[in-house]
Amino acid sequence: MYKKVIVLSVFYLIISLFYLGCSTNYDSKIIPAPSNQIFLDDYFVLDTKTSISYPNEFKHSVNFLKSFLSQGKHKYLSLENNNQSNNHIEFKLDKNFTSPEAYKLEIGKKLITITSSDNKGAFYAIQTLRQLIPETFENKTYANTEISIKCQIIEDSPRFKYRGMHLDVGRHLFSVEFIKKYIDALAMLKFNTFHWHLTEDQGWRIEIKKYPKLNTIAAYRDSTLAGHYTDRPRKYDKTRYGGYYTQEQVKDIVNYALEREITIIPEIEMPGHSKAAIAAYPELGCTGENVNVATLWGVFEDIYCSKEETFNFLEDVIDEVAELFPGEYIHIGGDEAPKTNWEKCKNCQSVIKRENLKDEHELQSYFITRMEKYINSKGKKIIGWDEILEGGLAPNATVMSWRGTSGGIKAANMKHDVIMTPNATCYLDHYQSKDTNEPLAIGGYTPLEEIFNYEPIPEELDSESSKYIIGAQGNVWTEYMSTSEYVEYMVFPRIFALSEVVWSKNKSNFEEFTSRVTSFFDRLDKLNINYSTHLEKID
Ligand code: ACM
Ligand code: ZN
């Protein structure tokens, strides 16, 4: 084994020296930075006569490439499976090639070769190739008959298997068109998971056929806080706000994401952040009293009661959600659930007695574990925010560590998978600049460099427990983001730094990174993505 590794290493060293010998001084622009990139002399000229060949396994990725190139003013790649030796793009399936998301992209003078063991790797190779093609393709303004692509060899694979971005559509709702645009951006940066936060105190956003009042009542609030939560007196806009995604729209979005190698994790919050559902069905709460869909941000005492009716309701909801989302995970929330009502509720107290539980924290653990069993019975696994550790962690749960890293450390030491999303570094609703002209945000300060420097594996973990840190995620809570333009402003360019944290094995320095970010701005312009130009360092 070791002998083989040494022989291979020497082989790669010789090859690299050979390539270095003929490389020219050329700056990389790719985000996230690939593991290995070696520039060669010459250019491949992609033109209207370039042919392409590919195995059927890569059809989805090749369709993406074809559709991307069809945005030029001329027709490229007109010839298929017609192996021209002097102007050709060849996709190669190599089942022995490292991991499914890994790829090799070799751009020679007459031939581009893309090698991978899976459509995923081929897709990421195409996202890299896309960044080597002029950005005017992005807005359909490229007019030449030829595209010159610098000759190079890129070998690349991700550092983490979970690379996520989240979006809260409960506080503010965004169009299907924008959700697709967001997914497109994630795919371009080699993220593989979109965490769709679908239910909140301020609005329920997914159609559930068995419970129509979730869509007629829970999806709408009468008013929304105007200004900041801390303002006194608080002002409200007194305007009805809301809406939801129909199951047809959800299916369309799920398919759109799948074509881009993105898995969607739906989040159905429980037992807290459920005021909108309780507004529609007051019997789901402890008091049975009517409540309103929340008009203010924050944490509310109206949480689901632990009685049988609630479990029946949630199981019915999960039935419909599990049908819509083919991914392996359902996120059940679990965060910020005040126990005030449970303490006073005879139903909740009788469950505590019946199940021999110590207190309301153990009742939350019972609640989550019971839902976990149900979700497992549907062939899916649960993810929960780190509060699900309180009172005992459900047996197969994956933990999202948001209140710092301690929840993640504890869960990894218990051999549970962990996704790191500590608020200090991964919350993109924080301010990104101290500029006094910044638009209103929730608070906090997370400049670009803070994210760029982020190391998801806490140093407290030994190498065995570190394996349970499966990746990291950026969270986009939208209390203060009422438009998609503002979401983009908060996400870009900080998403670039996060993409390097989760993908890149060889991180460069911040100055080099920001030079790539600045050159990417042209592409964002063509993609009509609104971005901030703040490249703030940690001060
Ligand atoms: C959270 O930010 N409440 C997960
Ligand atoms: Zn109760």
Measured between alpha carbons, how far is 422 from 122 in angstroms, rounded to an integer? 32
Q: Which atom of ligand 1 is nearest to the CA of 336?
A: 3
Angstrom CA distances, 494 to 497, 506, 508, stand at 5, 18, 16
For the chain, helix (H) and strand (E) counts, in that order, are 18, 23
- pLDDT score of 4: 45
Range of the domain at 61: 17-156
User: Cα–Cα distance between 320 and 381 in angstroms, integer?
Assistant: 16
Residue 243 Ramachandran class (φ > 0 left, ψ -120 to 50 alpha, else beta): left
Is residue 358 domain-resident? no
Q: Are 36 and 15 in contact (CB under 8 A)?
A: no
Q: Which of 156, 175, 198 is the last residue of a domain?
A: 156
Beta-strand pair 443-445/430-431: parallel
From 166, 200, 201, 385, the mutation candidate for ligand 1 (largest count of ligand atoms within 8 A of CB) is: 385
Instruction: Please tell me the number of the ligand nearest to residue 340's CA.
Output: 2
269: left (phi over 0), alpha (psi -120 to 50) or beta: beta
Same domain, 150 and 195: no
For residue 421, which atom of ligand 1 is closest to its CA? 4
75 and 219 share a domain?
Answer: no
The reply to whether 538 falls in a domain is no
* Ligand 2 center to 311 CA (angstroms): 12
Q: Identify the domain boundary among 106, 141, 156.
A: 156
What does DSSP assign to residue 138?
A: T
**Domain contains 69:** yes
**In a shared domain, residues 190 and 268:** yes
Protein residue with least CA distance to atom 3, ligand 1: 335
Q: Which ligand is nearest to the CA of 301?
A: 2
Q: Considering every ligand atom, which ligand is closest to the CA of 401? A: 1
Torsion of CA 293, 298, 304, 305, to 10 degrees: -120
Give the pLDDT score at 28: 86
Cα 396–chain centre separation? 22
Q: Does the residue 421 lie in any domain?
A: yes
Ligand 1 atom at minimal distance to the Cα of residue 400: 4
The minimum-distance atom of ligand 1 relative to the CA of 475 is: 2
| Domain count along the chain | 2
* CATH assignment at residue 28: 3.30.379.10
From the CA of 318, how far away is ligand 2's center (Å)? 21
Judge whether 427 lies within some domain: yes
Q: Which atom of ligand 1 is nearest to the CA of 333?
A: 4
Same domain, 277 and 370: yes
Cβ-Cβ contacts under 8 Å for 530 (sequence gap 6 or more): 485, 486, 488, 489, 492
Mark whether 138 and 49 lie in a shared domain. Answer: yes
The phi, psi pair for 107, rounded to 5°, reads: -110, 105
CA distance 216 to 449: 44
Q: Within 10 A of 322 (CB to CB), how many other CB atoms are there?
A: 18
Residues whose CB falls within 8 Å of the CB of residue 413, separated by 6 or more in sequence, listed in order: 461, 465
Give the pLDDT confidence score for residue 82 in this predicted structure. 67
pLDDT score for 525 = 98
| CATH code, domain with 217 | 3.20.20.80
User: Using CA atoms, how far apart are residues 360 and 330, in angstroms rounded to an integer?
Assistant: 24
Ligand 2 mean position to 344 CA, how many Å? 8
Q: Do residue 405 and residue 515 come from a single domain?
A: yes
Tokens of 73: 């003013």
Same domain for 152 and 217:
no
Closest CA to ligand 1's atom 2: 402
Which residues, at least 6 apart from 501, have a Cβ–Cβ distance to it below 8 Å? 451, 452, 454, 455, 456, 472
Q: For 135, which DSSP code? A: G
Cα(386) to ligand 2 centroid in Å equals 22
- Are residues 166 and 149 both part of a single domain? no
Q: For residue 358, report the distance from its CA to the centre of ligand 2, in Å.
A: 16
Q: How far apart are CA 394 and CA 374, in angstroms?
A: 12
CA 509 centroid distance within chain: 24
Question: Which ligand is closest in space to the CA of residue 302?
Answer: 2
Ligand 1 pocket, CB under 6 A: 335-336, 385, 402
Question: How high is the pLDDT of residue 25?
Answer: 58
* Of residues 75, 144, 155, the one with CA closest to residue 113: 155
The span from the first CA to the last CA of the chain, in angstroms, equals 47
Query: Are residues 398 and 262 part of one domain?
Result: yes
Does an H or E element contain 69, and which? helix 59-69
Rounded (to 5) percent helix, strand, coil in the chain: 35, 20, 45
In the chain, what is the greatest distance between 2 CA atoms, to the nearest angstrom? 78
Concatenated DSSP letters of 147-212: EEEEEEEEEE--S-SEEEEEEE-SSS---HHHHHHHHHHHHHTT--EEEEE-EETTEE-B--TT-T
Last residue of a domain, one of 137, 156, 175: 156
Helix, coil or strand: residue 527 = coil
Q: What is the atom index within ligand 1 of the atom nearest the CA of 427?
A: 2
Distance 408 CA to ligand 2 centre (A): 29
Q: Is residue 360 part of a domain?
A: no
Do 15 and 106 contact (CB within 8 A), yes or no?
no
Write down how long the chain is: 539
- Specify the ligand 1 atom closest to the Cα of 477: 2
Ligand 1, closest atom to CA 385? 4
Q: What pLDDT was estimated at residue 81? A: 65
- Given this model, what pLDDT does residue 74 score? 86
Assigned domain for 343 exists: no
343 C-alpha to center of ligand 2: Å? 8
Report the alpha-carbon distance of residue 112 to residue 77 in Å, rounded.
13
* ∠ CA 196-461-372, rounded to 5°: 40
Q: Token digits for 434? A: 């101290």
CA of 475 to the centre of ligand 1 (A): 9
Q: Give the residue, out of 477, 479, 480, with the most ligand 1 atoms within 8 A of its beta carbon, to mutate for a pocket test.
A: 477
At 26 the pLDDT is 73
Residue 42 region, left (φ>0) first, then alpha (ψ -120 to 50), else beta? left
Q: What angle do CA 175, 325, 158 make, to 5 degrees?
A: 90
Residues 188 and 231 in one domain: yes
Q: Scanning the structure block, which residue is given the tokens 């996202």?
A: 127
Best residue for ligand 1 mutational test, from 402, 420, 425, 476 (most atoms within 8 Å of Cβ): 402
Among 150, 132, 148, which Cα is nearest to 188's?
132
Query: Are 109 and 198 found together in one domain?
Result: no
Check residue 83 and give its pLDDT.
Answer: 67
101 Cα to the center of ligand 2, angstroms: 46
User: How confident is the prediction along the chain (539 residues), in pLDDT tens digits per residue?
Assistant: 444 444 444 444 444 444 443 444 578 899 999 999 999 999 999 998 999 999 999 999 999 999 999 998 888 887 776 666 789 999 999 999 989 999 999 999 999 999 999 999 999 999 999 999 999 999 999 999 999 999 999 999 999 999 999 999 999 999 999 999 999 999 999 999 999 999 999 999 999 999 999 999 999 999 999 999 999 999 999 999 999 999 999 999 999 999 999 999 999 999 999 999 999 999 999 999 999 999 999 999 999 999 999 999 999 999 999 999 999 999 999 999 999 999 999 999 999 999 999 999 999 999 999 999 999 999 999 999 999 999 999 999 999 999 999 999 999 999 999 999 999 999 999 999 999 999 999 999 999 999 999 999 999 999 999 999 999 999 999 999 999 999 999 999 999 999 999 999 988 999 999 999 999 999 999 999 999 999 999 98
> Are 102 and 236 within one domain?
no
Amino acid at residue number 467: K
Å from CA of 275 to ligand 1 middle:
16
Give the number of whichever ligand sits closest to the CA of residue 407. 1
Q: Give the model's pLDDT for residue 80.
A: 73
Strand partners, 154: 37, 105
* Contact (Cβ atoms closer than 8 angstroms) between residue 196 and residue 209: no
Q: Which of 213, 203, 207 is nearest to 172 (CA)?
A: 203
